[in-house]
Amino acid sequence: MTQTARGSVEASVDRTAGTSSEPIFESIDPRTGEVVGTHPIHDQEHVSEAVRTARDAQRWWEELGFEQRKRRLDAWRELLVSRLDEAAELIAAETGKPMDDARLEMVLVVDHLHWAAAKARKVLGRRGVSPGLLMANQAATVEYRPFGVVGVIGPWNYPAFTPMGSIAYALAAGNSVVFKPSELTPGVGEWLCRTLAEVVPEHPVLRVVTGFGDTGAALCRAGADKVAFTGSTETGKRVMATCSESLTPVLVECGGKDALIVDSDADLSAAAEAAAWGAVSNAGQTCIGVERVYVVESVADRFIELVLGRAEKLRAGGQSTADFGPITMGSQVEVIREHIADATRSGGRSLLGGEDSVRPPYVDPVVLTDVPEDSAAVTEETFGPTLVINRVRTAEEGVERANAGRYGLGGTVFSRSKGVELARRLRSGMVAVNSVIAFAAVPALPFGGVGDSGFGRIHGADGLREFARPQAITRSRFRMPIEPMSFGRPKGAVRNLVRLMRLVRGRR
């Protein structure tokens, strides 16, 4: 069997691992084409077995309770901090991103892991609620129990941070996890699994299965109790369809086409800096990256000048001094090229770079303006270091245009007087006002989208609850003098109840 990792610089090849006939594939450094590691292509049988063993591990993990789990997750966090550069090197090798960006990714991982472990008991633990008027004799409690085994399917652009948004929160909630990393970044997935096993040697509460899309589909069919998917909208739909066969619940975190709105009273240099970082960092391969800007006409010229001043100095490359790295997934290069071409064909103007900026595997920054709103560069996720800046009469018009798309992941607003007001009108899961992407680094905030960006939430209390099922329990403390839900109720009991209701609930 020969399989090709999509987008690899060199085609990944089949080989057989040692004496076993298990097919394997290679992960490739997109900067050099060098092989970073070889990994098995796991089939349905292997994936189902991984879920079965994770189920045994989960029983033990759940029994440990919040405190014991926290101790172990804290130990993992400490290990991740002490070996942060080791993780960053692997992330940099498999994605091509600069070391400092890989380090930053790990810093965020560590902070989220800390939050999830620290808050799990408070958010999910058993608590009493008022039993209400009718059931005053009941003690009512709710607690959030783990699902069991959670299957996590992750992308390659932030191969540690993105899946850990599910893995850390699912583990803190008492689930075990079977993780299928992207075929482009399997080494990072395996590293995460190995390091957790070092501090939790007793049972494999995190297992990793590697391979291509078929391995991901196998995980959807392997009997997991929930599947948390992060990736493109198209694959998200396929994951949902497969999970529907067994009514497996899904969390779907997909792509975006996030907009940045610049109001007439905005701090323009801060807005320009944010636009440049939001669009170009990680070579634009960020689901919550800034892909388009709507700037109010009166400040547009100055804003554009500031953006260009910043962006024209930025260069892609594989060397340590590069501002950002390559396009990790080779096949995306053509999508980026086509979006630039479509924008200029349909009347848009290039202010910086153009089709010539595409020099695989690198793409230098491209800034476009006056791009028609129905052009692919405005409507589709480009996932490259490109930015469309369109002028609007008012910030409100910018909001309208931002909301016209099918995605609704994040957003950014720069305004001194009405930042939050504009933010609240954006149809998106998260908004940063007067900064960019800040919400992803606040562990207490939920992260997720609407529309084609998916549904469900990672991070924060909502992210913990996403990996738990609420269980409601009532315990009778004493017998009511009149029990209306009994065949032994006296005649007139319900009528008296209705009278009582009229009295207390029938008026304001």
Is 384 near ligand NDP (CB under 6 A)?
no
Active-site position among 287, 380, 381, 466: 287
Q: Which is nearer to ligand NDP, 158 or 169 (CB)?
A: 158
How many residues in the shown chain lie near ligand NDP by CB under 6 A? Answer: 32
- C-alpha dihedral over 44, 48, 49, 54, to 10 degrees? 140
CB burial of 98-117 (b: ≥16 within 10 Å; e: otherwise) equals beebbbbbbbbbbebbbbbb
Q: Compute the distance between CA of residue 58 and CA of residue 158 in angstroms, rounded to an integer.
A: 26
Near ligand NDP by CB under 6 A, which window of 68-76, 210-218, 415-423, 497-505?
210-218
Is 463 near ligand NDP (CB under 6 A)?
no
CB of 490 to ligand NDP, least distance (A): 58
Burial of 286 (0-12, 13-18, 19+ CB in 10 A): buried
Tell me, rounded to whole angstroms, the distance of Cα 115 from its chain centroid: 16
Q: Compute the distance between CA of residue 109 and CA of residue 88 in angstroms, rounded to an integer.
A: 11
Using CB under 6 A as the binding rule, the residues of this chain from 134 to 173 that contact ligand NDP are 153-158, 162
Is 212 near ligand NDP (CB under 6 A)?
yes
CB of 492 to ligand NDP, least distance (A): 58
Q: Which is nearer to ligand NDP, 157 or 357 (CB)?
A: 157
Q: Compute the distance between CA of residue 432 and CA of residue 385 in angstroms, rounded to an integer.
A: 20
- Are 263 and 296 in contact by the 8 Å Cβ rule? The answer is yes
3-class DSSP state for residue 340? Answer: helix
**Binding marks (x or -) toward ligand NDP, 427..456, rule CB under 6 A?**
----------------------x-------
- Are 464 and 144 in contact by the 8 Å Cβ rule? The answer is yes
Near ligand NDP by CB under 6 A, which window of 24-32, 41-49, 75-83, 213-221?
213-221
CB of 379 to ligand NDP, least distance (A): 14
Tally of residues, the chain: 508
- Of the candidates 187, 204, 255, 384, which one interacts with ligand NDP according to CB under 6 A? 255
**Binding marks (x or -) toward ligand NDP, 228..247, rule CB under 6 A?**
--xxx--x--xx--x-----
- Of the candidates 150, 287, 311, 388, which one interacts with ligand NDP according to CB under 6 A? 287
Pairing of strands 250-253, 226-230: parallel
Assess whether the previous peptide bond of 361 is cis (omega < 30° from 0): yes
Tell me, rounded to whole angstroms, the distance of Cα 172 from its chain centroid: 17
CB of 66 to ligand NDP, least distance (A): 26
Residue found by looking up tokens 């408070």 in the block: 122
Tell me, rounded to whole angstroms, the distance of Cα 204 from its chain centroid: 24
Q: Is 253 a catalytic residue?
A: yes
Using CB under 6 A as the binding rule, the residues of this chain from 5 to 44 that contact ligand NDP are none
- Of the candidates 40, 131, 213, 360, which one interacts with ligand NDP according to CB under 6 A? 213
Residue 9: how many CB atoms within 10 A of its CB? 18
CB of 253 to ligand NDP, least distance (A): 4
Q: Is 245 a catalytic residue?
A: no
- C-alpha dihedral over 130, 131, 132, 135, to 10 degrees? -170
Residue nearest to ligand NDP (CB): 216
Active-site position among 26, 105, 253, 381: 253
Q: Which is nearer to ligand NDP, 200 or 327 (CB)?
A: 327
CA 35-36-40 angle, to 5 degrees, is 90
CB of 448 to ligand NDP, least distance (A): 7
Give residues in contact with ligand NDP (CB under 6 A).
153-158, 162, 180, 182-183, 212-213, 216-217, 220, 230-232, 235, 238-239, 242, 253-256, 287, 329, 381, 383, 409, 449
Catalytic positions, written as ranges = 253, 287
